[in-house]
Amino acid sequence: MKNVLLALGAGLLFNAAAHAQDHDRLWDAVSGDHRNAADMARNEYRNPYQTLLFMGVKADDTVVEIFPGTGWYTGILAPYLRDDGQLIAAGYPRGDNASDFMRRLNATYDELLASDPVYDSVEVTELTIGGEGTLAPSGSVDMILDFRNAHNWLQNDPERMLGKWYDALKPGGIVGIVDHRMDPSMEAGNGYIHEQTLIEVMEDNGFRYVARSNINANPQDTRNHPGGVWNLPPNVRDVPADQRHHYLAIGESDRLTMKFVKQ
């Protein structure tokens, strides 16, 4: 019995040390000088350190980032996973069917990957909003992270999209989602979604709801802006000059932060 207790104690100490090391590496990735000032300034609203701790991503995980955009979260995940894990960026299509918007976004993302050695291990794959494409070999992924994309793919073919996720994930694999959150008493739209809708769609497609967090909540967001969520920073789209101060004072959107597991 004594040997069993010693072994258990050693295992707990090892796990605690591993977690502490992961936390240190994550903080280094968040605060690294490879990130530009504009991206760093958005930490206030996107809370990457706390968000990724909540999701439970480990430095030796294989992680798929869905539609990484210009690479804001790639700037953190790439260096964090570089030595022991793998980051797979499931970006927009690059073929003849790609729109001008997709081409510009892909070009910006490629420039980021070429800008610093911390990105040299990122693997790029292609995915459509309708869920067409190949993420990763079946059963090879520990975690899928989706930042502010659910409001798009929920309106297209969520069954196909989530089927791709389900196939790529290992048994017990995690999905972490952040998106613009609509108040339950208000009609979803204009970029905002209901938490309960997301839970129902995920659970209809083989995932179990695990937890939610208010890490990315913003109680100043009234969610009833004329141009939807895009009136808020960082876009401040179609906002008259004399109203910009109002939307800048609100800050970025109120966001749900949720975690699911492959059943």
pLDDT over threshold 90, residue 238: yes
**Per-residue model confidence (pLDDT) at position 20:** 83
Interval 58-107: pLDDT, tens: 999 999 999 999 999 999 999 999 999 999 999 999 988 899 999 999 99
Amino acid identity, position 257: T
Encoded tokens for 243: 């109203």
pLDDT over threshold 70, residue 14: no
Percent of the chain with pLDDT over 90: 90
Please give the mean pLDDT across all residues of the chain: 95
Q: Determine the Cα–Cα distance for residues 57 and 142; give it in Å rounded to an integer.
A: 8
Task: Quote the pTM value.
Answer: 0.93
Largest Cα separation within the chain, whole Å, is: 73
Is 36 in contact with 59 (CB distance < 8 Å)? no
Backbone region of residue 69 per phi and psi (left: phi > 0; alpha: psi in -120 to 50; beta: other values): left
Interval 108-139: pLDDT, tens: 999 999 999 999 999 999 999 999 998 999 99
Q: Determine the Cα–Cα distance for residues 53 and 17; give it in Å rounded to an integer.
A: 15
Is 133 in contact with 127 (CB distance < 8 Å)? yes
Encoded tokens for 100: 């001008």
**Per-residue model confidence (pLDDT) at position 17:** 72
**Per-residue model confidence (pLDDT) at position 97:** 84
Interval 156-214: pLDDT, tens: 999 999 999 999 999 999 999 999 999 999 999 999 999 999 999 999 999 999 999 99
